[in-house]
Amino acid sequence: MRRIIYSTMIVILLAAIVAACGGGDEEEPTPTSPPAAVSAEGGAAAVGDPGGLPAAAMQIAQERGLTPDDIRAAMMTYTPSGKWDEYLSFMSGGHSGNLIVVGVPSMRILKNIAVFTPESWQGYGYGSDESKAILDGGNVDGKEIRMGDTHHPALSETAGDYDGQFIFLNDKSNGRVAVIDLRDFETKQIVKDPNLISNHGATFVTPDTDYIIQTSQYATPFGWDYAPLSEYKEKYRGLMTLWKFDRETGRIDPAQSFSIELPPYWQDLCDAGKLASDGWVFCNSFNTEMATGGIEEGQPPFEAGVSQRDMDYMHIVDWRKAAEVYGAGDTEEINGMPVIRMDTAVAEGILYLAPEPKSPHGNDVTPDGKYIVVAGKLDPHVTVYSFAKMQQAIADKAWEADEFGIPVLNFDNVMVAQLEVGLGPLHTQFDDRGFAYTSLFLDSMVVKWSLGGDDPNGYQVADKVPVQYNIGHITMAEGDTVSPDGKYLIALNKWAVDRFTPVGPLLPQNEQLVDVSGDKMQVIYDMPLGIGEPHYAQTIKADKIQAWNAYPEVGWDPATQAPSEHAVKVGEERIERNGNTVEVFMTAVRSHFNPEHVAVKQGDHVIWHITNIESAHDATHGFQLGGLNLSLSIEPGESTTFEFDATEAGTYPYYCTEFCSALHLEMTGYMLVEP
| 314 in contact with its own copies (CB under 8 A) | no
Residue 640, H or E segment: strand 639-645
Which one among 420, 573, 583, 643 touches its own copies, defined by CB under 8 A?
573
**Radius of gyration in angstroms for the set of CA atoms belonging to the chain, rounded to a whole number:** 28
Inter-CA distances, 658 with 126, 273, 665, Å = 16, 46, 9
Residue 346, H or E segment: helix 342-347
| 301 in contact with its own copies (CB under 8 A) | yes
Which one among 42, 273, 362, 369 touches its own copies, defined by CB under 8 A?
42
Which one among 158, 335, 460, 549 touches its own copies, defined by CB under 8 A?
549
**Exposed/middle/buried for 129, CB within 10 Å: 0-12, 13-18, 19+?**
middle
**Exposed/middle/buried for 527, CB within 10 Å: 0-12, 13-18, 19+?**
buried
Which one among 343, 412, 455, 498 touches its own copies, defined by CB under 8 A?
498
| 303 in contact with its own copies (CB under 8 A) | yes
Judged by CB under 8 A, the stretch of 144-152, 313-321, 340-348, 413-421 that binds its own copies is 144-152
| 238 in contact with its own copies (CB under 8 A) | no
Which one among 91, 92, 99, 101 touches its own copies, defined by CB under 8 A?
101
Say how far apart CA 187 and CA 184 lie, in whole Å. 9
Say how far apart CA 268 and CA 185 lie, in whole Å. 28
| Largest pairwise CA distance in the chain | 98
Q: Which residue number, 5 or 328, has a Cβ lying nearer to its own copies?
A: 5
Say how far apart CA 362 and CA 447 lie, in whole Å. 14
What is the smallest separation between the CB atom of 250 and its own copies, expressed in angstroms? Answer: 14
| 592 in contact with its own copies (CB under 8 A) | yes
Instruction: Looking at residues 102 to 121 of the shown chain, list those that interact with its own copies (rule: CB under 8 A).
Output: 103, 108-112, 117, 119-121
| 8 in contact with its own copies (CB under 8 A) | yes
CB count within 10 Å of CB 391 equals 15
Q: Spell out, one character per residue from 381 to 420, where the chain touches its own copies: x when CB under 8 A holds, - when not.
A: ----------------------------------------
Say how far apart CA 313 and CA 445 lie, in whole Å. 26
Which one among 82, 298, 336, 571 touches its own copies, defined by CB under 8 A?
82
Nearest to 151 by CA among 306, 269, 302, 282: 269
What is the smallest separation between the CB atom of 412 and its own copies, expressed in angstroms? Answer: 27
Q: What phi and psi values does residue 656 have, to the nearest 5 degrees?
A: -80, 125
| 225 in contact with its own copies (CB under 8 A) | yes
Nearest to 191 by CA among 238, 277, 254: 254
| 667 in contact with its own copies (CB under 8 A) | yes
| 354 in contact with its own copies (CB under 8 A) | no
Which one among 165, 622, 640, 641 touches its own copies, defined by CB under 8 A?
622
What is the smallest separation between the CB atom of 150 and its own copies, expressed in angstroms? Answer: 10
Q: Spell out, one character per residue from 180 to 209, where the chain touches its own copies: x when CB under 8 A holds, - when not.
A: --xxxxx----------xx-x---------
Helices 35-48/55-63 angle, 10° precision? 150
Which one among 290, 388, 398, 507 touches its own copies, defined by CB under 8 A?
507
Instruction: Looking at residues 553 to 572 of the shown chain, list those that interact with its own copies (rule: CB under 8 A).
Output: none
Residue 203, H or E segment: strand 201-205
Say how far apart CA 587 and CA 567 lie, in whole Å. 9
| 334 in contact with its own copies (CB under 8 A) | no
What is the smallest separation between the CB atom of 445 and its own copies, expressed in angstroms? Answer: 14
What is the smallest separation between the CB atom of 286 and its own copies, expressed in angstroms? Answer: 7
Instruction: Looking at residues 244 to 273 of the shown chain, list those that interact with its own copies (rule: CB under 8 A).
Output: 266, 268
| 122 in contact with its own copies (CB under 8 A) | yes
Instruction: Looking at residues 624 to 643 of the shown chain, list those that interact with its own copies (rule: CB under 8 A).
Output: 624-627, 629-631, 633, 635-638
* 445-450: strand order across its sheet: 425-430, 435-440, 445-450, 461-466
| 475 in contact with its own copies (CB under 8 A) | no
- Give the type of residue at 200: H
486 beta partners: 477
Say how far apart CA 451 and CA 640 lie, in whole Å. 52
Instruction: Looking at residues 416 to 455 of the shown chain, list those that interact with its own copies (rule: CB under 8 A).
Output: 424, 441-442
Q: Which residue number, 399 or 644, has a Cβ lying nearer to its own copies?
A: 644
